[in-house]
Structure formats: structure tokens, C-alpha cells
Amino acid sequence: MAPSDRTVVDKDRLAQPKPELPHWHSALTYTAPNQVLIRGYPLDELMGRVSFADAVYLMLMGELPTPAIGRMLNAVLVSSIDHGVTPPSTLAARNVAVSRAPLKDSVAAGILAFGPRHGGDIESCMRFLDGGLGLVRNGKTMQDAAATIVEDYARDSIIPPGFGHRFHTRDPRASRLFQMALELELEDEHVRLIRAVEHALEGRRDQYGQALPVNVDGAIAAICADLGFAHDLGNAVFLISRLPGLIAHAHEERVRQAPMRQIDPKDHDYDGPRERRVPEGRK
């Protein structure tokens, strides 16, 4: 590692080729001494004036959201903040924490566990719905489009992305998201189509051997698509939402459990506060 005590190289001969790299641009953030502009807004002026969810929208979409969209995005981000000990992302994060690696390493491992079958459903569901809306633009009704894209999956008894849950038979998070989208008048064609798909799947309960209601991934997919999010940003919204949960699990593992334990994913119980109501008057 100390090159000076070796034969000095012939710099003319071993100079690395130096290709021209093109000048490039970024439209996200401007930084200069004592100045940071996020999408044009002074960062210190945003602080205290917009919520973090508003700033997330600004960062990803380029403009501040309307108040209704800001409320919707806050709810979407709250909806997936945690789902207990058993998701693979949580178990990956906890297994990293048992070796007492830095907290951020647990978090990164948890994020890596979001694959096509866990979190990645959001992007798949957005593509699935876009396929159906293509049919609508070509003249089909919502109902016919839903029936057609369901048939593509049902033919091989495959569950479409965004439906069913290994745990919930009716996902309370999805219902609440749809209710809010309705109240905030943000419901649009993706939400309408996913409800039509859910209806079409009800008629196939016998074929699948289970009810397949929209799950939280499906609800986030439809709502984010109606809000105009790009497909891979739909997954990203889920990442942002779940990060605090991953952090809380990694932290709890470090402070409550012995290092190098083996984690039994089923033989545990909950010892936090018992069920309680959200205080009145909060918004």
C-alpha cells in the first residue's frame, strides 16, 4: 500500500487513459455555500412550513402537493410503518442486529429483503392496472377490462399482484386508504379499476380456494398510480413507510435481546401497551 518503496513507475507509459466524461444535470437540489434549494424552495424555508410527507412528495414529484394529496400521502406513509416481527425484511434486520453490526446495516439488510414477493408487489400491481386501463382506453368498460386482466392470471390460478394476504382476510389498511381517497376526492381510474378487479375475483373464490381482497400493497399501488407516481417510485413509497419499523425492530433487538441469539420467528408474544384509542381532537 506504500508505493514509494517500490520501483517508480514510468508515468508516460502507465498513465491511465482519461476519457472525456459528459457534462450532466440534476433537477433535484441546488447547493451553494449557506444555501440549499430543494426543487427551487429554500430548505430552511420549507422547515416548519411543510410536513415531512409534503417534502417527500416535493422531492419525488417536483412540486408541493395540494392539501388533500398531502393528507393522502401522510396516510399512505403511516399505513405500512410496521407489520410486526414476522415479515422477512424484519427478520433480516433483526438477524443483522444480533451480531451487533451498526444499526444502519440492519436497516440496509431489511431493505434488501423487499423483493418481488414482499413490497415489490406495488410496482407489479401498478403495471397490472395500467394493462387494464389500456383496454379501457381502447373502448372496454372497467368491468370488462377487469375481467380480462383477471382471466390472464386465473387461467393458471395465479393470484394477481396486490390481492390476498397470508394473514388478513380483509386488510384494514386497504379499506381505510380507499375510504380516504374517496373522502379527499382523489379517487381516479386506477382505484376504480382495482375495485372492479376485486369484484371480479370475488366470483372466483371457489377457484382460488380463498377470498382475495385488495391488500395494502394493492391499495398503495392504485392510489399512487392515480397520484401520478412512476412505477418504481410506488415501491419507494413503501420503502419510506416501512423504514421506521425496521429501525424500531433493529433497535429493540439490540437493547432487549442477547447478542448472537437465534431468532425463533413464531415463539414470541407482544408485551407492549394494550389496545387503546387515538386521542380525540388530533389531526
Q: Which of 51, 130, 136, 187 touches its own copies (CB under 8 A)?
A: 51
Q: Which of 11, 138, 156, 209 touches its own copies (CB under 8 A)?
A: 11
Q: Does 228 bind its own copies (CB under 8 A)?
A: no
Strand partners, 30: 37
C-alpha span between 36 and 45 (Å, rounded) = 10
CA 8 to chain centre: 53
What is the phi/psi pair of residue 281, to 5°? 85, -5
Q: Does 283 bind its own copies (CB under 8 A)?
A: yes
Q: What is the DSSP letter of 170?
A: S
**Residue number, 18 or 155, with CB nearest to its own copies:** 18
Q: Does 209 bind its own copies (CB under 8 A)?
A: no
Q: Does 156 bind its own copies (CB under 8 A)?
A: no
C-alpha span between 281 and 272 (Å, rounded) = 24
Nearest distance in Å: CB 225, its own copies: 16
Q: Does 223 bind its own copies (CB under 8 A)?
A: no
Q: Does 5 bind its own copies (CB under 8 A)?
A: no
CA 91-97-99 angle, to 5 degrees, is 120
Residue type, 250: A
Q: Does 77 bind its own copies (CB under 8 A)?
A: yes
Nearest distance in Å: CB 251, its own copies: 6
> Which among 64, 62, 109, 66 is positioned nearest to 233, based on CA atoms?
62
Nearest distance in Å: CB 7, its own copies: 6
C-alpha span between 88 and 260 (Å, rounded) = 18
Q: Which of 134, 203, 228, 265 touches its own copies (CB under 8 A)?
A: 265
Q: Does 185 bind its own copies (CB under 8 A)?
A: no
> Which among 198, 196, 237, 239 is positioned nearest to 215, based on CA atoms?
198
**Residue number, 48 or 139, with CB nearest to its own copies:** 48
Stretch that binds its own copies, among 93-101, 141-149, 153-161, 185-193 (CB under 8 A): 93-101
Residues 69/229, Cβ–Cβ less than 8 Å: no
Q: Does 230 bind its own copies (CB under 8 A)?
A: yes
CA 60-130-150 angle, to 5 degrees, is 135
Q: Does 111 bind its own copies (CB under 8 A)?
A: yes
Signed CA dihedral, 163, 166, 168, 173: sign only: negative
Q: Which of 156, 185, 206, 267 touches its own copies (CB under 8 A)?
A: 267
C-alpha span between 91 and 87 (Å, rounded) = 6
Size of the site for its own copies (CB under 8 A): 151
Q: Taking CB under 8 A as the criterion, which residues in 114-143 touch its own copies?
A: 114-120
Q: Which of 68, 69, 96, 221 touches its own copies (CB under 8 A)?
A: 96
Q: Does 16 bind its own copies (CB under 8 A)?
A: yes
